[in-house]
Amino acid sequence: MRNKLFLLLIPFLLVVSCNTNPPTSSDLTPTGNVVLKLKVDNTAGVKSASKVVIVEDFANVSCNPCVISNKIVEQLTNQSYGRSKLVAVKFPTNFPAPNDLFYLAAKEICDARISYYNIFFAPTTVIDGILKPISTDSNSVKAAVDSRLSITPRFNINVGAILEGDYSVNVNIKFIDTSSINLSDLVIHTVLTETDIEFEQAPGSNGETKFYDVTRLMLPTKEGTPIRQLIDQGELTFTFTDALLSSWNLEKLNFVVYIQNKATKEIFQTGSTFD
């Protein structure tokens, strides 16, 4: 259950004519810390869990087809499935226009994920790391989500967060069935997103003023935390000083956690503060 935050938040074709129009406010003043605690229990004997699917969506504020794909993802996550079954993370791209303000704010993170999946076009939608449906076709995206929801989950992920001075995030991972899985290939990705951002004036040329589930931070690194390291130590705590910025709406932050096979790219399970 999501804890409410009480206090305070190369492409094949480059379209050179698309110019972004950044909003006037770009306050980078630090306003708080993030304390991330990861804990794993591989002997819990959990019998089952609800499967949660993740959509990693690659888009740009000056990409016209992205208007359609963004609406599809927003509809599916917030209405068709709900965020207890489907979670979205948006990784902005530097194409077709190189000066997307969301991309520039999280450049290293976005570049890493773009490279990892060999993304060449915006929009590109990736479901559970391995399926790439047609981003502008809602039936194609929904079919990919349905196919992954039918998979029996191998892990249970519980994510809790509270904002009381620091933004404290507790992640508890329990094993269900890890047979036939090489645990040395698994990493835990933790992404802080802002779920609802709205501008009076469109920041890009496609006219969009509302954006959802935009990546802000990827902690502790963009490479993720090896699950073997967590198994060996049982619990890891990371503190990131002045990680939150005053330009973010802290009441709209969501922490997304997913377990991914770095070799095959398959994402086995996802959790978030919306669960």
* Residue 165 confidence (pLDDT): 78
* Secondary structure class of 227 (helix, strand, coil): helix
Give the pLDDT mean for 55-61.
Answer: 98
pLDDT-based confidence at 46, cuts 50/70/90?
A: confident
Residue-wise pLDDT for 205-236, tens only, equals 999 999 999 999 999 999 999 999 999 999 99
In this prediction the pTM is 0.89
**Tokens 């939150």 sit at which residue?**
244
Length of the chain: 275
Cα 236 to Cα 40, 173, 226, 270: the distances in Å are 9, 12, 11, 19
Strand segments (E) across the chain = 30-41, 53-59, 86-92, 124-127, 155-164, 166-175, 186-194, 197-198, 210-211, 214-219, 225-226, 235-245, 253-261, 267-272
Q: Is the peptide bond before 11 cis (omega within 30 degrees of 0)?
A: no
Percent of the chain at pLDDT > 70 equals 89
Please tell me the chain's helix, strand, coil percentages from 3-state DSSP, rounded to the nearest 5. 20, 35, 45
CATH 3.40.50.150 holds for 30-272? no
DSSP, res 77: I
What confidence score (pLDDT) does residue 47 get?
78
Cα distances (Å, whole numbers) of residue 133 to 77, 113, 229, 268 = 16, 17, 33, 18
Q: How confident is the model at residue 16 (pLDDT cuts 50, 70, 90)?
A: very low
What lies within 8 Å, CB to CB, of 70 at 6+ separation is 57, 59, 123, 208, 211, 212
* Cβ within 8 Å of residue 16, ≥6 positions away: none
pLDDT tens per residue across span 132-171? 999 999 999 999 999 999 999 999 999 999 988 789 999 9
Considering only CA atoms, which of 9, 34, 7, 6 is closest in space to residue 246? 9
